[in-house]
Amino acid sequence: MKKNFLSVAILLLMSTFIASCNDSSCDDCNEATTVKAKIVFSNTVGTQALTLKTANYNDTLGETFSVSTLKYYVGEAQFTRTDGTVWKQAAGSYALIDASEQTSLTWPVQGLPDGTYKNLSFLVGVDSVYNVSGAQLGALDPLNEMFWDWNTGYVFFKLEGNTPDTTARYTLHVGGFRGQYNTIRRVNLDLSAQPLTIKNGAVSEIDIRTNVQKVLNGGPHQISIWANPGMMPGAVAMKCADNYATMFSLITVKNP
């Protein structure tokens, strides 16, 4: 009898615990899924806002080009507090930024603890583990047209358009995560001049400029889209990855 009473008591305790975690008022349960910050990307070519298909631009080599497609993966953000401690987004947290989809330009960050942060870093690309993890959903769904195959993995950065001066189409598909052709890059943005503050359940915002011109020849390498109208994993893609690591800059931080 005593044994049965003990079993019932344990079951009641477990039921209470489960119910509390399913209750919408449970702060601990909701904390990890609550959006605490959002990162908003503004795509540009130099100082000009990016306009798909209809606008022509000149790069630093004097080559004229238009942009019909711009997509890139960002993920696994890390926020450094002013005391030097680091909060890391869960592995496998990725967003696909697509210039043709306005809603995709905002990357919500869930579960960021209250505090003041002086640095933001994030991956451009997809970690090697998730390149070979089979069919996935969300940002990593192959239906997003950013996936080659299970051996080659994901396209990390896609830029397509035309070069009117040559009447040719260019397709820059940058990816690769193996050995010397690893094009995954981590970007660091210094927030110390405009620290990010998370508090009281309000949502803070980090606005970032993505300057596509730097991918071509505004970064450490000079890449001619006339000479390289098609790009796949390899040496030139590595240079392109070095360049896209420099294409992000902080516009402003908006704290509540």
∠84-248-56 over CA atoms, to 5°?
A: 175
In contact, 89 and 109? CB cutoff 8 Å:
yes
Q: 62-82 as b/e, with b when 16 or more CB fall inside 10 Å?
A: ebebbbbbbbbbbbbbbbbbe
Nearest to 142 by CA among 96, 180, 178, 88: 96
In order along its 256 residues, the chain shows pLDDT tens digits of: 444 444 434 444 444 444 444 444 444 445 567 999 999 999 999 999 999 999 999 998 999 999 999 999 999 999 999 999 999 999 999 999 999 999 999 999 999 999 999 999 999 999 999 988 877 899 999 999 999 876 778 999 999 999 987 768 999 999 999 888 899 999 999 999 999 999 988 999 999 999 999 999 888 999 998 888 887 778 899 999 999 999 999 999 999 8
Domain count, the chain: 1
| 155 assigned to some structural domain | yes
Domain that holds residue 123: 35-254
| 112 assigned to some structural domain | yes
| 139 assigned to some structural domain | yes
Distance between CA atoms of 182 and 233, rounded to whole angstroms? Answer: 9
Mention every residue, 6+ apart, whose C-beta is less than 8 A from residue 16. Answer: none
For 2, 55, 139, 183, 202, the CA distances from 222, given in Å and listed in that order, are: 80, 22, 30, 17, 43
| 15 assigned to some structural domain | no
Q: How many CB atoms lie within 10 A of CB 95?
A: 21
Distance between CA atoms of 188 and 249, rounded to whole angstroms? Answer: 9
Mention every residue, 6+ apart, whose C-beta is less than 8 A from residue 66. Answer: 53, 54, 55, 56, 57, 161, 162, 163, 164
| 56 assigned to some structural domain | yes
| 12 assigned to some structural domain | no
pTM, 2 dp = 0.86
Distance between CA atoms of 184 and 178, rounded to whole angstroms? Answer: 10
**Three-state DSSP class for residue 245:** coil
∠248-249-254 over CA atoms, to 5°?
A: 120
Distance between CA atoms of 56 and 68, rounded to whole angstroms? Answer: 11
